[in-house]
Amino acid sequence: MSNQSNVSDPTDSRRRPSLLSFILYGWSNSVWFGIFLLSLIFIYSSAGSAYPPIRQHPSLDMTEMEWFHWWPFLLMIAMMCINITVVTFKQIPFRKVNLGVWTIHTGILMLSLGSVYYFGTKLEGDAPVFRRRAVIELPGHEPVSMLIRLNNHVSVGTGSDAYHFSVSQIFPNWNIASGDDKGKTAYMAWIDVVTPTQKYTRQLLAGFPQYTEDILPDRTRAKKTLGNPLVDDTLSLTLDYEPQDKFFLMDTSALHVRVAGADEWVERPMDDLPRYHDHIAARTDAILSPLDRDMPLRPLDMPVPALEKGKPGAADDPLTEYDVRVNAYLRYAIPAAQWATDGDRLNPVAKLTLKAGPSARLDYDLVAFDARRSTAEQGQIAFRWVASQEALDQLSNPSDGKLVFHIPETGQSFTVPIDDVWPPKNETPGVEPEFRPLEGSRYAYRVKSVIHDLVIQSGERSGATMSVATVELKTPDRIITRFVANLPDASRDIGDDQRMVQPDPIVNIEFNTGGGGGLTARVTLVAGPDDIGAYILFHGPDGSLQKLPIVPGGSVSLSPGVEAHLIYLITHAEEVIKPKRVPESERQRGTRRHYAMIRATISKGDWEKTLWLQFNDYALPNEQYRISRRINYSPVSLRLPDGKMVEMMFSRKSHPLPTPIALESFDIDTHLGGYTGDTNTIRDFVSKLRFKTDTGWSDTMQMSSNRPATEGGFWYFQSTWDPPSPAAGYGGMNYTGIGVGNRNGVYIQLTGTCIAVAGMLYAFYYKPVLRRRMQDQLRAKLDKNKADKESSEEHADAEMTEQMASI
Amino acid sequence: MEQYVAYILAGSFGLLSLCLGLAMVPPRARKHILDAIVVALIGYVVVNKSMNAPPKVEPSTFAAAVDMTPLDNIAVQDKGRLKSFASHARSLMRIVTGGHLIAGQSQSFTFLDLMFRPEAYRNADCVYVKQKLMRSEIREQLAENATVDPAILDTFEQTGLISPVLLEHPAVQARLDILERDLIKTSKHVGQIRSAMAVQRAGTLFNNLPIVPATDNDPKSRWHIVDELATGMPADTSHAGMSTGGIPGLDPQKAADLLQGWIQLRDAWRNEDATAVNAQLAHIATALRAVNPEIYPDIELLKLESWYYRMKSMTWIWLVYAIAVIPLLMSVIYHWRGARWTGILIFTIAFALHTFSLGLRWYISGRVPNANMFEAITAAAWFGSFFAYIIEFLVRKTPLKTIFFLGAAVASMIAAMCTHFLPVTLNSDIENIMPILHDVWLYIHTNMIIFSYALIMMAAVTSILYLRFRIGGGSAESAVLGGAGSLIVRREKSFIRGGVVSFAQVLDGATMVIMELSFITLWAGLVMGAIWADHSWGRPWGWDPKEVFALNTFIIFLLLVHVRFKVRDKGLWTAILATVGCIVMLFNWIVINFVITGLHSYA
């Protein structure tokens, strides 16, 4: 390689080839052309790597991987390989001295071929594997399963016979304090069980079903109080693996669709979806920051066809008869709600502003039928919808509501008027109402608030309204806070950890709202159909209820200096999720596509629906898998013209795993002092996996940083984890993130690179030795000749030089 | 991003104009112009550095009288390590003061002083603002909205140090709030100021001082802060955070003794009673060790760690290397025997210190020191110097001698200068390595790569000398066989073992010897990285910017090998491409690392 006279380059000696012959084949035998190609490859890779705006330009829109697998690059590499091959065969004689060059070139070609195979068949992605699910078996019912994630809940059975289960606590590393397994740690979950008659907590330890036991509401163990570890032996609760059977491919996009409530998603690939640049046709398509006034508009119209018939899952696609297109893409946006005025259902919304003087101003966005948004300022401001004049009159003259207490233990019943305690009359601000005894019982109560027109969000009664009184019930040993609804089975208690639980059966409370339901807020906006109009109802300074008409855009005076303005009132409002584009300078780095959104349009004939979808890293089966700030789950529901509900989700393409994977355990190994929340204290992440086999589950296989697990031609890498957040009281450790990849041809690549190293060593360090030996031999031969032909000294020197040069 | 592209373009344009300018003057004048430019640049840097260096301040009488030594050598549990207090104080104070010493005090003194007498620092210039842009923004706000002596603002703009009171000025805070919103340009810099402010608070310092050993012998147990001692002790009203509860398993007598000692230390400190402070410091140091002597780290190790940081991580060895460069250069150019031996002697002293500093760091951290940028640079330079000894031994009787020492001295000097003058960017804290780096390939791949980088740097030194020689009108000769061949092949074919050898041939030959080795080590390093990546990230090659630029560096050397084979003026092209290779390598190490984040962002 470093001896010029070894080879003869036809391009720079004797006859110059014509341009045409150079283009046709001459280039392949030119070292200079090889140098030129190398320089081009250098420029190409520098540009694509050091300055991403080039490969990310809207006309290219490529990831690093795509840039380096684009045809110009592949063409250069292919030409390079041909050039190396031809030059080696034609210009480098296959001799011992040239073995190094031959070896290096062979190695490089082998590496290239290996890479074609490797990258051509590469599958790469990731998936979360959760730890456990609870399998609930109740006699007379099909088994039900519930993922172990804090606050997940399911119900078995219906009506008053229903059993309710919820995950109330998770201890990722519970120390077993007694028994044969003392000192071991296990993953433990507490499941709150509410039956029609009682309430208790069942403690489940992964891997140790023998330690399953119940804990009674007073925190005592059932074994101690009842003599049996379980309150109810017929109820079986067990922890089982939560296997993952697919992974999601890196840098891909797919639209996932399904009939609402189905378990499996059907995915429609979106291979042409943009990546780095926003595509909207009009500035009104998204909410733009003033910084983005000049952002370029790029329309998009990308059909998202259904899978071909016969492909797995294609038959389950509920949208096969519809045209589905994606016509907008935003790389980084946050969904924001806006009200469209042309909804097809009654949904009154209003914006009310209270002004006191020039600077004090409070805005309220009120939604009459939404429990969380119908009131503001802890119920002091409210928006009520009345369907008729009578309803309005009833509101203006509230009649009594009643609470009925029934105590099963003693059979006693009490009926108390609710206006006795609510709305509070002549109350002192800041002082809570007194507890009132239920005479003759061990209980006392007080009413803390009453809210009407709450719209039920889900379940069979979705869309209906109800009234709810917040009642505190004082028993001899505790205070129960209960939301008492005027509908059967809708009442709930607030559990120990501030979550809603089934009401404690010791006292049954009914709420009879009386006529119309009382007015509880200080200021209430009441609106009805056009013939009724809108009014502001408020308690004047003298405590009397006043009623003033108001129109959208108008205002009324509540007291000197205080005005209420009705900014808008929409009767048939439809909440439209519109993305708010985040300006480039305010985007967090390294979020990848976490904040990406697409707009999909679904149409059939004249019917058309448009909705925005947020990106989800994984298309998971349901809400139970959402992990706050880690794993999002944001499908969007859509009602088709035939009444069928479908769900859609923007996520990635998935690929089946060769065999389902279960997570036995996940641990972190730490440095001195244990895990403090600082990542510097972590030594390693250790997941123990099991793979599904024909006979059940395999033995555990360890997967940790730098130590992948292997199974079925794939390698599994420790990729992400579920970190605890002590400040938020979150124990974490509920899943492990596995990276998945195949590696066909990696040994061909490796062999190629190693051969090249051997060639380099040979060419640089062995070739000179070889050459020295040959020179010595030649010298000896020449010396001998010299002695023979003393006379022709000059000739011999010249000959020797020539011969040596050829080595 | 755009600004770096602009820098690169401006740099390339400047270089091009310089080349064109030089081409227009006669060769004899060229070398003088070039030398003048180099001397002017070095002069500018030296003068600029010394002008901007803050004036030396003598510590107060109290500070001078306090002996921090006993406390410096106690152990603190921080980020999964047990380190000496001096080392801990230094790393926290570095966040506050950017490595500057406040009022001539040691960092451990300032740490305690900030904790015990925070009010004394409210108006002291002790918070460091790193970014020049931030300094001028803050200055502007203060000049407009507060009555501040312009001289103070001048000093601030120069040194970057400002008082908490001025930083907390509402106008400054309002401006910082706005700047914080720009996540691309300024948020990071505002974050630096905010964390400096947060760390200098007495509460933060106090809560980040777990010095009371755990009472059980499990190394994974958490150590405690002084607050946790407060069981059964009279409530101490001055420590708002003082809780009750105590440390389970700790002898109440010992706890009381420690707490009492701490309170007395604080009171004595506030009274500036140096004698009492010294007594309490010594007492606390002993008492802490007595809590659980079994798990307490060896005092010698802690002393060494404190010493290591007192010696500024020994980054000043750049100066020793710099001194070695002068005689080595004279030896290479003028072949002075005395200069050669003087150079080798000084180089050996520098190398010994360098080896010692690396070994010490290895010993203190308990792991091979090549897991962060500081360690990578220091180790790379060491490999270069070590290699110089081996190769110099092989060429000791040839005209190539001394030149490798020179290359290594320059490369190591530059590396050590980077660590010395950029203490904030190249953080020399000893920290645990992250889980993903826990692999045997960390040692193999990283060391192979940084060794090749050191060689590339050395090859650039000989190449630049060659270019300078040619610019000055030197002959266009090259080492006929080049590389290792020139050392192995005998007699006529090898230019170095017979006849008269020109300076051009010596320089070219040296470049080739180094280049060949770097060619192989870089390639092998890349392959080893791929093997590691295969089982660590799931793919041997991911087109990560750092991978691409390591490959790009290799492509430059591929070009060098093939161009050298084809062109007539081999020496010139070799020197040019070896220099370009070094620039690409440096671009990879500096720009890619600090500007373009990729998978390799650990080091």
More confident position, A802 or A609: A609
CA end-to-end span of chain B: 20
Neighbours of A568 (CB within 10 A): 14
Q: Identify whether the C-beta of residue A48 lies closer than 8 Å to the C-beta of residue A67.
A: yes
Q: What is the pLDDT of residue B603?
A: 41
CB contact burial A742-760 (16+ within 10 A = b; e otherwise): bbebbebbbebbebbbbbb
Q: Identify whether the C-beta of residue B127 lies closer than 8 Å to the C-beta of residue B200.
A: yes
- A578 Cα to chain B: minimum distance (Å): 23
Report d(CA A158, CA B23) in Å as an integer: 93
Residue A279 in this model has a pLDDT that exceeds 50: yes
Residue A744, SS3 per DSSP: coil
In degrees to the nearest 10, what's the CA dihedral of A265, A270, A271, A273?
A: -140
Residue A362, SS3 per DSSP: strand
Residue to mutate among B88, B518, B528, B548, with most A CBs inside 10 A, is B548
Amino acid at A294: D
Tell me what the mean pLDDT of segment A580-607 comes to: 90
Mean pLDDT is lowest, of A544-548, A578-582, A641-645, for: A544-548
CB distance A684–B435 less than 8 Å?
Answer: yes
Residue A807 in this model has a pLDDT that exceeds 90: no
Mean per-residue pLDDT of chain B: 87
Question: Can you read off the two tokens belonging to residue B86?
Answer: 């001096």
Report d(CA A785, CA A796) in Å as an integer: 8
Neighboring chain B residues of A741 at a CB cutoff of 8 Å: 538-539
Write the secondary structure of B183-240 as one string of H (helix), E (strand) and C (coil): CCCCHHHHHHHHHHHHHCCHHHHHHCCCCECCCCCCCCCCCECHHHHCCCCCCCCCCC
CA-closest candidate to residue A605, choices A572, A641, A570: A641
Chain A, 560-619: which have a CB under 8 Å from a chain B CB? 584-590
Report d(CA B483, CA A218) in Å as an integer: 84
Residue to mutate among A98, A251, A764, with most B CBs inside 10 A, is A764
Question: Can you read off the two tokens belonging to residue A320?
Answer: 């096969």
Tell me what the mean pLDDT of segment A352-373 comes to: 83
Q: Domain limits of chain B?
A: 1-53, 434-603
CA-closest candidate to residue B544, choices B597, B603, B602: B597
Report d(CA B277, CA B256) in Å as an integer: 18
Beta bridge partners of residue A135, listed in sequence order: A145, A238
**What is the band of A463 on the pLDDT scale with cuts at 50, 70, 90?**
low
Residue A805 in this model has a pLDDT that exceeds 70: no
Neighboring chain B residues of A678 at a CB cutoff of 8 Å: 79-80
Tens-place pLDDT, residues A528-576: 888 888 999 887 766 677 888 999 999 998 888 888 999 999 988 888 8
**What is the band of B234 on the pLDDT scale with cuts at 50, 70, 90?**
very low
Does A622 contact B at CB distance below 8 Å?
no
ipTM of the complex model: 0.87
Amino acid at A485: A
Following DSSP, what letter does each residue of A457-514 receive, concatenated? -SSTTTT-EEEEEEEEEE-SS-EEEEEEESSTT--EEE-TTS-EEPPPTTSEEEEE--
Q: What is the pLDDT of residue A772?
A: 80
Q: What is the pLDDT of residue B434?
A: 83
How much of chain B, in percent, has pLDDT values that exceed 90? Answer: 58
Residues 6+ apart with CB under 8 A from B289: B74, B296, B299
Tens-place pLDDT, residues B118-174: 999 999 999 999 989 999 999 999 999 888 899 999 999 988 999 999 999 999 999
**What is the band of A157 on the pLDDT scale with cuts at 50, 70, 90?**
confident
Neighboring chain A residues of B558 at a CB cutoff of 8 Å: 38
- B488 Cα to chain A: minimum distance (Å): 6
Question: Can you read off the two tokens belonging to residue A50?
Answer: 């050091």
Following DSSP, what letter does each residue of A442-457 receive, concatenated? S-EEEEEEEEEEEEP-
Mean per-residue pLDDT of chain A: 86
Tens-place pLDDT, residues A110-122: 999 999 999 999 9
Tens-place pLDDT, residues A189-205: 999 999 888 899 999 99
Q: What is the pLDDT of residue B594?
A: 76
Tens-place pLDDT, residues B352-378: 999 999 999 999 998 888 888 899 999
CB-nearest to A741 from B539, B564, B587 is B539
Using CA coordinates, name the residue in chain B closest to A807.
B493
CA-closest candidate to residue B488, choices A770, A762, A204: A770
Beta bridge partners of residue A241, listed in sequence order: A132
CA-closest candidate to residue A496, choices A474, A481, A506, A484: A481
CB distance B559–A38 less than 8 Å?
Answer: yes
Q: What is the pLDDT of residue A519?
A: 64
Residue B191 in this model has a pLDDT that exceeds 90: yes
Q: Where are the alpha helices (DSSP H) in A707-764?
A: 746-761
Q: What is the pLDDT of residue A794?
A: 54
Residue A19 in this model has a pLDDT that exceeds 90: no
Neighbours of B21 (CB within 10 A): 11
Residue A799 in this model has a pLDDT that exceeds 60: no
Tell me what the mean pLDDT of segment B455-472 comes to: 92
Does B366 contact A at CB distance below 8 Å?
no
**What is the band of B237 on the pLDDT scale with cuts at 50, 70, 90?**
very low
**Residue A195: HSE in the Cβ half-sphere, 13 Å Cα cutoff:** 13
Amino acid at A683: R
Tell me what the mean pLDDT of segment B322-337 comes to: 92
Question: Can you read off the two tokens belonging to residue A362?
Answer: 């409070």
More confident position, B253 or B4: B253
Does B432 contact A at CB distance below 8 Å?
yes
User: The pTM is what?
Assistant: 0.82
Phi, psi angle pair for A370, to nearest 5° = -115, 115
Residue A217 in this model has a pLDDT that exceeds 50: yes
Residues 6+ apart with CB under 8 A from B92: B111, B199, B205, B208
Report d(CA B325, CA B350) in Å as an integer: 11
CB-nearest to B559 from A35, A48, A776 is A35
Chain A, 197-226: which have a CB under 8 Å from a chain B CB? none
User: What kind and span of H or E run contains A146?
Assistant: strand A144-147
Chain B, 79-138: which have a CB under 8 Å from a chain A CB? 79-82
How many residues belong to chain A?
A: 807
User: What kind and span of H or E run contains B374?
Assistant: helix B373-394
CB contact burial B154-191 (16+ within 10 A = b; e otherwise): ebbeebbbbbbebbebeebeebbeebbebbeebbebbe
Report d(CA A80, CA A35) in Å as an integer: 9
Chain B, 577-596: which have a CB under 8 Å from a chain A CB? 587, 591-592, 596
More confident position, B68 or B54: B68
Residue A241, SS3 per DSSP: strand
More confident position, A654 or B256: A654
CB distance A64–B534 less than 8 Å?
Answer: no
